[in-house]
């Protein structure tokens, strides 16, 4: 052992020292395996842990400090490690128990009920212990928050858990004067306690009563932290040293005496690849293994720097080790105390690998393949009850254990843990749980521990990303459980644990979900999707009352769906759809009577609106129908409530506007239409015809509300001169068409429906509406030298931003220019027009279920469905005056099936007034009627269509060629309607 510093020449009573020079060398028999030094005490572990010796500093008659007599401590257990402060010494036994020695007694006394402890550390008046399952306990003085228990917590003699560190897989704990640190397996550093000189590295001098992450050390690959009384040093895997805190004696090594509030690189050690660091009270040691050199800096008045001069130094200089001794020995560990420094070494024959960049002491227990293989192979032996079940419980009841397992160590990726990278290797986790599933009893035990112990214990406020890894790992366990038709209760409990997270922590989890590879993100979704049908089963069982059981799984699905919408590569929305919901909704719609609707509540539908992601478009439409019927029931008996609007076919739009302007209209109810001088009864067909006519007139009305673009799509006019309430009434008509389940034959772009749903419009939306404008903007984004275009932030005389005329478009700001242009075109220029339209739309369709639909789905609801099933139209056709076997009918279907897709759509327009059918009135449900015209000169006539009743009046042509000619002419050129 090398030793130097205050009063070390007497050898602490161990062996006679070699006193040649400032550094003493002692041959130890039996050798020292561990030591710790405070300001007034030094303690050694010898004889492979069987012997502990303590020497305390005393003052002689002249007031000089001298080393007292070395005293042995009687320990009943083998001691693996110890840590000293002047007030107390903490011993850690091989059995994982903790004992304490005080100034007045060298008799070890057990500390609380601590067991399975793997590391201990002492500050001046407080102590820390780390257990095998990752728990941190502290006790002692808490005057500066050094116990990390939170604001206002008192000092305590009994160990208390530091709850905010639960779930963090730790590699090291350490303590300074009145401050403490914990280091995670992935290099995250957490500090708490006194911060008067910036020793926590947080950029200020405010004490912290609970662990706070030292964010500026993120991604630095920290592997060791060491504390002095008011300063701290950290060592990275790359051999760099950062120091912060008090620089009063030069102990930070920055060639100054200034305090540092944030970690600062010790530049003098750059390139030296330091492998160990140790902080004394006011000095620091750094060991470079490849050079066999120890560098020291800081306070040196007692010779603790080992440089032959008893004075302070603020830059690292080599300790003057005896060359003859260093050649024959390998330094294994360095230690620094109050005014002492030590280096344990071994002879060349005894030398091990040294510590290099590994951590001092054991780290949090983790799960690996060797452990799993042993569980699988020995689960049928006697060790199952004696050992394996206990190990499974210990591992799977600890979030720290799971969070530290399956680290992504390839290229040190786990050191890159951030909001975008979890640091966990989920492929490894998947293989591990697949292996566990080979033995049912092992998997069952794991399932029991996770459900009964782990999930209820998860903190709602985990600190750092590492504390959230368990939320990514557990779905891989649930994946194998659900495959074996088990794990439903665990999944429900897991959903509850996710929803308990504080909002800011939940948002971190959302960030991690968003960056998962597709196959693992899909696993998370499938986990909750597998259980979500139970929610709808329970709804039916409980009479459709709002059900809390399994609701959590659906809530998590909602958030996962939001994540998916924002992912760069999305998984299909069908992964979220729960088909069980369709069956429940169909049962409700088909069986509910008047009183059944009365029993429902607003909360029932509100919950469905929130859960829209689990409904496919058919289910959403069923909810829409249910809510409509529910609101109709609330209004009173249906026959007395439905308003009828009387319009003239020649001025349908004018009459409609006049009707909607009248007060007292019940907008919750659907609409029945009567055309003047026509006897048709509105069973849906008249309303379809009415809204078809409105669609035509709206495009030609004056004053103009809509402009038709090159794409054939309609958008709000920006010239709103002479407009009063027409935009509002346009919105009303769209809302009424929606609630009437009618097609309003207006071709709006998808942007309109995105705006109604509160979604952001993009360049793609402008491409749909105005391809030429969007093409120019895309050119701006793709052009290599955009400055040559001489563009400024203007659009047709309007500034896109203040002083936009003076701001040129460059390579740097061109994306902003394009975004502002799109925003101006689709939002700002039509802001008031859309606001009036939106107000009218909400008034015209007060049912809230339409908000469940995606923009594409809402567009289909208003503008009709283009999912053509032409063969279904023939299957459902009815005949009057003809039989299906008649030649004219056979020839008609032959000609129809010969038509191109566009010709079939023209026929549909001829028959119904539109080539897009209302949602729910697909061709499989459309009952077309073909009736005879009864004319003797059939070949002289064209077919006619009665759109109100979806009837084709078909003359009995003499040949298939004449039928083909007349039918093609009718659908291409004619717009003839018979009596309605």
Q: Provide the H-helix boundaries in 347-424.
A: 369-378, 383, 389-396, 399-404
Query: Does residue 667 sit in helix, strand or coil?
Result: coil
Say if CB 202 and CB 214 are below 8 A apart. Answer: yes
Residues 812 and 672 in one domain: yes
Residue from 75, 92, 94, 102 nearest 128 by CA: 92
Cα–Cα distance list, 760 to 611, 752, 778, 822 (Å): 21, 11, 18, 10
**Residue 782: Cβ-neighbour burial (10 angstroms; 0-12, 13-18, 19+):** exposed
- Distance from C-alpha of 74 to C-alpha of 327, rounded to nearest angstrom: 36
Residue 818 lies in a domain: yes
Instruction: Classify residue 765: in a domain, yes or no.
Output: yes
Q: Are residues 700 and 776 in the same domain?
A: yes
Q: Which of 337-346, 668-677, 786-795 has the lowest mean pLDDT?
A: 668-677
Q: How far is it, in rounded angstroms, from Cα 346 to Cα 331?
A: 7
Q: Average pLDDT for residues 478-484, to the nearest whole number? A: 95
Instruction: Tell me the pLDDT tens digit for each residue of 21-69.
Output: 588 888 877 888 899 999 889 999 988 888 999 988 877 777 777 777 8
Of residues 795 and 147, which shows the higher confidence score?
147
476 with 424, same domain: the answer is yes
pLDDT at res. 16: 57
Distance CA 751, CA 834 (A): 11
Taking residues 416-435, what's their average pLDDT? 95
Query: Rounded CA gap, 451 and 461, in Å?
Result: 19
pLDDT at 978: 40
- Dist. CA 938–CA 955, nearest whole Å: 5
Residue 280 has pLDDT above 90, yes or no: yes
The structure's pTM equals 0.82
Residue 958: inside a domain: yes
Q: Do 652 and 797 sit in the same domain of this protein? A: yes
Q: Alpha-carbon distance 82 to 80, whole Å?
A: 7
On whether both 759 and 713 belong to a single domain, the answer is: yes
Strand partners, 647: 675
Q: What integer is the mean pLDDT of 269-287? A: 96
Q: What percent of the chain has pLDDT over 70?
A: 93
Query: Which of 371-375, 436-440, 646-650, 770-774 shows the lowest mean pLDDT across its residues?
Result: 646-650
Model confidence band, residue 355 (pLDDT cutoffs 50, 70, 90): very low
Q: What is the mean pLDDT of residues 115-140?
A: 96
Lowest mean pLDDT among 206-210, 325-329, 636-640, 689-693: 636-640
Mean pLDDT score of the chain? 89
Domain boundary pick from 863, 889, 907: 863
**How much is the pLDDT for 501?**
96
Strand partners, 126: 140
Question: What tokens does 414 get?
Answer: 């786990």
* Whether residue 354 has pLDDT greater than 60: no
High-pLDDT (> 90) share of the chain, %? 64
Write out the DSSP string of 565-621: HHSSSPPPGGGT--THHHHHHHHHHHH--HHHHHH--HHHHHHHHHTGGGS-HHHHH
What is the strand order of the sheet 222-227 is part of? 222-227, 231-236, 241-245, 260-265
Do residue 404 and residue 457 come from a single domain?
Answer: yes
Please state, in angstroms and rounded to a whole number, the distance separating the CA atoms of residues 632 and 846: 11
> pLDDT at position 294, please?
96
Whether residue 497 is contained in a domain is answered as: yes
- Active site amino acids: 948
What's the average model confidence in pLDDT over 294-308? 94
Tell whether the model's pLDDT for residue 819 goes beyond 90.
Answer: yes
CATH number at residue 745: 3.90.1750.10
Question: Which residues share a beta bridge with 226?
Answer: 233
Give the tokens for residue 712.
């054939």
Per residue in 60-97, pLDDT (tens digit) is 777 777 777 888 998 989 999 999 998 899 999 999 99
In a domain, 68, yes or no: no
**Least confident span in 154-163, 551-560, 717-726, 874-883:** 717-726
Q: What's the pLDDT score for residue 361?
A: 61
Digit-coded pLDDT (tens) for 135-164: 999 999 999 999 999 999 999 999 999 999
pLDDT band at 914 (very low <50, low <70, confident <90, very high): confident
Q: Within this chain, do residues 847 and 923 fall inside the same structural domain, yes or no?
A: no
Other CB atoms within a 10 A radius of the CB of residue 486 amount to 16
What is the predicted pLDDT for the residue at 640? 46
The answer on 819 and 960 residing in a single domain is: no
For the segment 184-202, the average pLDDT, to the nearest whole number, is 97
In the listed set 824, 844, 863, which residue is the last one of a domain according to the structure?
Answer: 863
Q: What is the CATH number of the domain that holds 935?
A: 3.30.2410.10
Residue showing tokens 């659906």: 554
Quick check: 655 pLDDT over 70? yes
Residue 157 is predicted with a pLDDT of 94
Residues 283-296 pLDDT 10s = 999 999 988 999 99
Structural domain including 956 reads: 870-973
Total domain count, the chain: 3
Round to whole Å and give the CA distance between 138 and 117: 12
Same domain, yes or no, for 898 and 965? yes
pLDDT score of 353 more than 50: no
Q: Note the pLDDT tens digit of each residue in 504-521.
A: 999 999 999 999 999 999
Whether 214 is in a domain gets the answer no
User: Same domain for 687 and 756?
Assistant: yes
**Alpha-carbon torsion, ordered 190, 279, 249, 58, to 10 deg:** 120
Q: What is the pLDDT of residues 847-863, one digit of tens each?
A: 889 999 999 989 988 88
Residue 638 has a pLDDT of 46
* Residue 62 placed within a domain: no
At residue 543, does pLDDT exceed 80?
no
- Specify the pLDDT at position 475: 97
Q: Look at the chain and count its residues.
A: 980
Residue 226: pLDDT band with limits 50, 70, 90: very high
Give the model confidence (pLDDT) of 370-399 as tens digits: 999 999 999 999 999 889 999 999 999 999
DSSP H or E run through 225: strand 222-227
User: Do residue 509 and residue 465 come from a single domain?
Assistant: yes
842 is a domain residue: yes
Last residue of a domain, one of 484, 515, 546: 515
Q: How confident is the model at residue 11 (pLDDT cuts 50, 70, 90)?
A: low
For residue 99, the Cα-to-chain-centroid distance in whole angstroms is 43
Mean pLDDT, residues 445-460: 96
Q: What's the pLDDT band for 702 if we cut at 50, 70, 90?
A: confident
| Residues 657 and 757 occupy one common structural domain | yes
Span 496-506, average pLDDT: 96
């Amino acid at each position: 052992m090398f030793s130097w510093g205050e009063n070390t020449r007497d050898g602490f009573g161990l062996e006679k020292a070699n006193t040649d020079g400032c550094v003493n060398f002692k041959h130890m028999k039996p050798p020292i395996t561990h030591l710790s030094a405070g300001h007034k005490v030094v303690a050694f572990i010898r004889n492979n842990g069987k012997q502990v010796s303590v020497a305390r500093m005393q003052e002689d008659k002249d007031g000089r400090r001298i080393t007292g007599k070395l005293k042995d401590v009687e320990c009943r257990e083998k001691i693996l490690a110890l840590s000293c402060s002047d007030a107390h010494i903490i011993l850690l036994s091989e059995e994982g128990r903790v004992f304490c020695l005080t100034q007045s007694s060298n008799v070890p006394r057990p500390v609380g009920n601590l067991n399975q402890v793997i590391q201990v550390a002492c500050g001046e008046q407080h102590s820390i212990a780390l257990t095998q399952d990752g728990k941190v306990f502290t006790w002692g003085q808490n005057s500066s928050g050094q116990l990390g228990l939170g604001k206002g917590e008192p000092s305590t003699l009994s160990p208390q858990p530091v709850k905010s560190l639960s779930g963090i897989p730790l590699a090291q704990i350490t303590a300074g004067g009145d401050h403490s640190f914990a280091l995670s397996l992935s290099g995250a550093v957490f500090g708490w306690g006194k911060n008067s000189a910036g020793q926590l590295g947080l950029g200020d001098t405010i004490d912290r009563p609970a662990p706070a992450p030292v964010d500026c050390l993120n991604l630095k690959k920290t592997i060791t932290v060491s504390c002095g009384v008011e300063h701290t040093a950290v060592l990275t895997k790359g051999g760099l040293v950062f120091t912060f805190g008090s620089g009063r004696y030069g102990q930070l090594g920055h060639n100054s005496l200034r305090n540092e509030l944030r970690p600062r690189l010790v530049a003098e050690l750059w390139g030296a690849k330091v492998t160990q660091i140790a902080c004394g009270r006011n000095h620091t040691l750094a060991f470079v293994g490849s050079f066999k050199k120890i560098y020291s800096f800081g306070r040196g008045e007692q010779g603790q720097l080992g440089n032959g001069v008893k004075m302070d130094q603020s830059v690292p200089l080599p300790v003057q080790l005896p060359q003859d001794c260093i050649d024959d020995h390998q330094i294994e560990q360095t230690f620094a105390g109050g005014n002492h420094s030590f280096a344990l070494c071994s002879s060349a024959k005894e030398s091990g690998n040294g510590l290099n960049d590994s951590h001092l002491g054991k780290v949090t227990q983790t799960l690996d393949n060797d452990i799993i293989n042993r569980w699988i192979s020995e689960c049928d032996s006697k060790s199952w009850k004696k050992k394996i079940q206990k190990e499974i419980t210990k591992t799977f009841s600890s979030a720290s254990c799971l969070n530290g397992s399956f680290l992504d160590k390839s290229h040190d990726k786990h050191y890159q843990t951030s909001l975008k990278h979890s640091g966990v290797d989920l492929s490894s986790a998947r293989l591990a749980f697949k292996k566990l599933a080979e033995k049912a009893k092992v998997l069952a035990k794991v399932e029991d521990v996770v459900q009964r112990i782990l999930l209820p214990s998860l903190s709602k406020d985990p600190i750092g990303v590492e504390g959230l890894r368990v939320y990514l790992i557990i779905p891989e366990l649930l994946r194998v459980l659900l495959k074996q038709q088990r794990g439903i209760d665990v999944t429900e409990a897991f959903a509850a644990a996710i929803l308990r997270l504080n909002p800011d922590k939940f948002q971190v989890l959302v960030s991690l979900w968003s960056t998962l590879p597709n196959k693992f993100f899909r696993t998370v979704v499938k986990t909750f999707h597998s259980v979500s049908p139970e929610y709808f089963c329970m709804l039916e069982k409980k009479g459709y009352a709002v059900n809390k059981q399994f609701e959590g799984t659906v809530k998590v699905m909602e958030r996962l769906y939001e994540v998916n919408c924002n992912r760069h590569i999305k998984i299909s929305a069908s992964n979220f759809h729960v088909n069980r919901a369709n069956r429940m909704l169909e049962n409700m719609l088909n069986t509910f009577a008047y009183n059944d609707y009365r029993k429902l509540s607003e909360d029932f539908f509100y919950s469905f609106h929130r859960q829209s992601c689990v409904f496919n478009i058919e289910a959403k439409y069923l909810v829409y129908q249910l809510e409509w019927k529910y609101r109709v029931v609330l209004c009173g008996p249906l026959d007395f409530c439905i308003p009828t609007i009387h319009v003239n076919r020649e001025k349908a739009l004018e009459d409609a506007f006049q009707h909607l302007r009248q007060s007292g209209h019940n907008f919750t109810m659907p609409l029945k239409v009567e055309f003047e001088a026509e006897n048709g009864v509105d069973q849906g067909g008249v309303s379809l015809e009415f809204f078809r006519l409105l669609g035509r007139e709206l495009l030609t009305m004056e004053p103009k509300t809509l402009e038709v673009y090159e794409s054939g799509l309609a958008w709000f006019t920006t010239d709103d001169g002479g407009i009063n309430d027409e935009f509002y009434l346009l919105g009303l008509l769209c809302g009424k068409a929606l609630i009437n389940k009618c097609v309003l034959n207006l071709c709006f772009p998808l942007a309109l429906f995105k705006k109604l749903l509160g979604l952001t419009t993009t360049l793609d939306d402008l491409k749909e509406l105005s391809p030429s404008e969007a093409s120019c903007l895309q050119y701006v984004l793709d052009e290599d030298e955009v400055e040559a275009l001489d563009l400024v932030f203007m659009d047709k005389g309007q500034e896109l931003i203040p002083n936009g005329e003076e701001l040129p478009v460059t390579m740097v700001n061109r994306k902003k220019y394009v975004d502002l242009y799109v925003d101006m075109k689709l939002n700002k220029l039509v802001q008031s027009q859309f606001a009036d339209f939106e107000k009218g739309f909400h008034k015209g369709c007060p049912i809230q279920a339409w908000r469940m639909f995606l923009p594409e789905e809402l567009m289909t609801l208003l503008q009709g469905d283009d999912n053509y099933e032409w063969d279904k139209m023939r299957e459902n056709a009815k005949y009057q005056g003809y039989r299906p076997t008649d030649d004219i009918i056979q020839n008609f279907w032959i000609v129809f099936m010969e038509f191109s897709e566009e010709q079939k759509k023209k026929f549909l327009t001829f028959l119904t007034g539109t080539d897009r059918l209302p949602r729910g009135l697909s061709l499989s449900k459309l009952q077309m009627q073909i009736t005879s015209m009864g004319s003797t000169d059939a070949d002289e006539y064209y077919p006619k269509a009665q759109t109100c009743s979806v009837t084709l009046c078909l003359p009995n042509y003499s040949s298939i060629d004449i039928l083909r000619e007349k039918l093609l002419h009718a659908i291409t050129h004619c717009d003839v309607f018979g009596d309605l």
